[in-house]
Structure 1
Amino acid sequence: MCYNVQQKASIKELTEQFNATFEMPALYNPKQNISGFDHPLLPVIKDENPEVFQFLNWGLIPHWAKDDHIRKHTLNAKKETIKDVASFRDVTQQRCVLPVTGFYEWKWLDGKGKRKEKYLIQLQNEAVFGLAGLYSTWINPLNGENTNSFTLLTTAANDIMAEIHNTKKRMPLIMDIQQAQNWLRKGEDKLSRDLKTTCIESDGQLGLFG
């Protein structure tokens, strides 16, 4: 799964890499570690307007929800089942990209997860890359306010990630810049489970895996 990301790129780096401007640059707050469980407001590119970074809350709220409590369960969506899950089946064509400089995962060192090792996953040749997602707009029935939110898509882990995420063996759909553009335009999901090399940092030690 993917519940923690790193967003350290500057606005200049993001705008140049994705060829998109910021709708509200003052909202951007680069951080070493961002937790989805805080439902942060993050810069996202949507398929309907890929030239602009818009700010969406992490944790998708489906349009039919009575309140926003569901979002703690919708940080991620399994790519294989989005058409079968009520929270996602109405937004399968509402594609977005979250730009990141890395994401975090914890490897279980014992059977109960009492001992874990933290990993930062990055692409070797891509300082900034994308994570595929879906987005939704929810109207709060109490005050009529709109909330734009997103979820990150996950898939079965590749060999590298299966060694790290060694319980559920999942990983986010990782994209380089070109793949991100294809995802937004066409919804192509043959993404980077097969990217050649990934950098993985664990407790300050950097390793290359191919």
Structure 2
Amino acid sequence: MCARYTLTKKEKDLLKAYQVKLPPDFQPNFNLAPTQQGLVITADEPDIAQKMHFGLVPYWAESIKLDFSTLNARSESATMAKTWAPLLKNHKTCLVLADGFYEWDKKSGKPVPYRFVLNDRELFAFAGLWSQWKNKITNEVYRSFTIMTTVANDTVGKVHDPKFRMPVILDQSEEALWLSKDLSVPDLMSLCNPYPDDLMNSFRVSTSVNSTVINKVHNNHPDLILPLNSL
């Protein structure tokens, strides 16, 4: 699964990697947690990167507070799921921009955080789905997204049980395909594969990242992404 990730690069780096218009209030996030806003590029508006909440709220939900998790969509069964199938059918796909993600090794009984990054590029995109929910009383619009997952590769599996999940990281050549409205749903799902082990790296980070909020303030600072031996 993927419940916490990072997008720490500056605007100039984002613009170099993705030729899109950025929101004026974009800020790097070293500890992006559920309900916070991430940066996504949608198939409907591929020329802009927009902020949406992490944790998808289906358009049919009664409120934005759900009693089930929508942080991740399991790619193997997404086409049969009430929450995800309509989004795939209607091409509500998006690129979730990132430069790393966290997972926790719990084999010792205590959660030990690791950060995963790519060797071949600093910025990348998770395959995502997005939805728009509207409050029936106030007409307030709430846009949100989920991250597709697949079986873990060996790099991620070393932290958890080999049967663990990992986010779908798209190859650069696959990003345009994920946003294409000409691709069939089966062809879209064929893109949801584990990222190659030789193109990934991981390292331990401080347990400070375990907390998303400290004293009612978002726990978000550059030291969170540093390898443990460099602190």
Equivalent in the alignment of 1:95 = 93
How many angstroms apart in 1 are the aligned matches of 2:40 and 2:98?
A: 10
What does 1:128-147 correspond to in 2, within 5 Å? Answer: 128-147=123-142
Superposed displacement of residue 167, structure 1: 7.2
Give the TM-score normalised by the residue count of structure 1.
Answer: 0.87
Amino acid at match of 2:191: K
Amino acid at match of 1:101: D
In the alignment, is the contact (CA less than 8 A) between 1:179 and 1:191 conserved in 2? no
Of stretches 60-69 and 137-146 in structure 1, the one that deviates more from structure 2 is 137-146
Equivalent in the alignment of 1:65 = 61
The answer on 1:53 being equivalent to 2:55 is: no
How many angstroms apart in 1 are the aligned matches of 2:163 and 2:63?
A: 29
Superposed displacement of residue 84, structure 1: 2.2
Q: SS of the residue aligned with 1:12?
A: helix
Amino acid at match of 1:197: L
In the alignment, is the contact (CA less than 8 A) between 1:59 and 1:72 conserved in 2? no
How many angstroms apart in 2 are the aligned matches of 1:11 and 1:176?
A: 21
Amino acid at match of 2:39: P
CA-to-aligned-CA distance 1:91-134 (integer Å, 9 cap, x gap)? 11210011111000011224xxx322211000012111111100
What does 1:3-14 correspond to in 2, within 5 Å? Answer: 3-14=3-14
Give the TM-score normalised by the residue count of structure 2.
Answer: 0.79
Superposed displacement of residue 89, structure 1: 1.9
How many angstroms apart in 1 are the aligned matches of 2:138 and 2:162?
A: 41
Q: SS of the residue aligned with 1:118?
A: strand
Q: 4+ residue runs of structure 1 moved beyond 3 angstroms?
A: 186-189
Change (3 A) 1:77 1:191: closer
How many angstroms apart in 1 are the aligned matches of 2:174 and 2:6?
A: 20
How many angstroms apart in 1 are the aligned matches of 2:69 and 2:163?
A: 16
Superposed displacement of residue 194, structure 1: 4.0
Structure 1 portions without partners, runs of 5+: none
Amino acid at match of 1:198: M
How many angstroms apart in 2 are the aligned matches of 1:49 and 1:71?
A: 30
What does 1:15-164 correspond to in 2, within 5 Å? Answer: 15-22=15-22, 24-26=23-25, 28-36=26-34, 39-70=35-66, 73-92=69-88, 93-110=91-108, 114-164=109-159
Change (3 A) 1:145 1:168: farther
Structure 2 portions without partners, runs of 5+: 206-226
Superposed displacement of residue 83, structure 1: 2.2
Equivalent in the alignment of 1:172 = 167
Structure with more of its chain in strand, by fraction: 1
Superposed displacement of residue 189, structure 1: 4.0
How many angstroms apart in 2 are the aligned matches of 1:165 and 1:29?
A: 31
Amino acid at match of 1:179: E
